[in-house]
Amino acid sequence: MANILQSEVMTQFIYPFLLIFFIVFAILEKTKMFGSDKKQIHALISLVISLIFVSAIFPKIIVSNLMLFLVLGLVIIFVGLLMWGFISGKEAGENLIGAKTLKWFGGFLILAIVVAVVWASGLGGSFQKIFDFMFNSPDSAKFWTNFLIVAFVIGAIFVVLKNNK
């Protein structure tokens, strides 16, 4: 059930208009392109640019798609930073745990965020195919044999190079 904030007038006209208006106005105010204390001129120029933008269909679709991506990205970053704050310690610069352990937690956090995004976006079916190939297919034994051989060779090279230093 849609409400007034989801109506077509809001999503197709008012939201894009306000977004472009405020961005252009802020840029004009910051750069002082037409002089300082010229808010009326900046507002009029922003109004005209916003109306031209809203009248064009293709740029509006591109900006709408980018805004959806931006919002998702901001939410993902916020969740990651919130979890990092819980992991890292009491205050900024003060860690409850060691730096090496904190790096491991950071790596785990990135992996957890990727898994959460994949789960939330419904792309889990792709991972089900990979899981089936790795564990439920007739070729899974060959895959794991090759994987263990490659892992053993990489581990041996790492040990030899570490001992030479």
pLDDT of residue 23: 93
Query: With 60 as the cut, is the pLDDT of residue 1 above it?
Result: no
Q: Is residue 49 pLDDT above 90, yes or no?
A: yes
Written as six digits, the tokens of 28 are 């004009």
Round the average pLDDT of the chain to a whole number and report it.
Answer: 81
Rounded to the nearest 10°, the torsion over CA 91, 92, 94, 99 is 130
Where helices occur in the chain by DSSP H, the ranges are 8-9, 15-31, 39-55, 57-88, 99-121, 124-131, 140-164
* pLDDT tens, residue by residue, 2-26: 688 888 888 888 988 999 999 999 9
Residue 67 is encoded by which pair of tokens? 């805004």
Q: What is the spatial distance between Cα 90 and Cα 152, in angstroms, rounded to a whole number?
A: 40
**Length of the chain, please?**
165
Q: What is the pLDDT of residues 56-112, one digit of tens each?
A: 888 888 888 788 878 888 888 888 888 777 766 655 555 556 666 767 777 888 888
On the question of pLDDT at 55 being above 60, the answer is yes
Instruction: Say if residue 160 is exposed, middle or buried (CB neighbours under 10 Å; 0-12, 13-18, 19+).
Output: exposed
The per-residue pLDDT for 53 is 92
**Whole-prediction pTM value?**
0.52
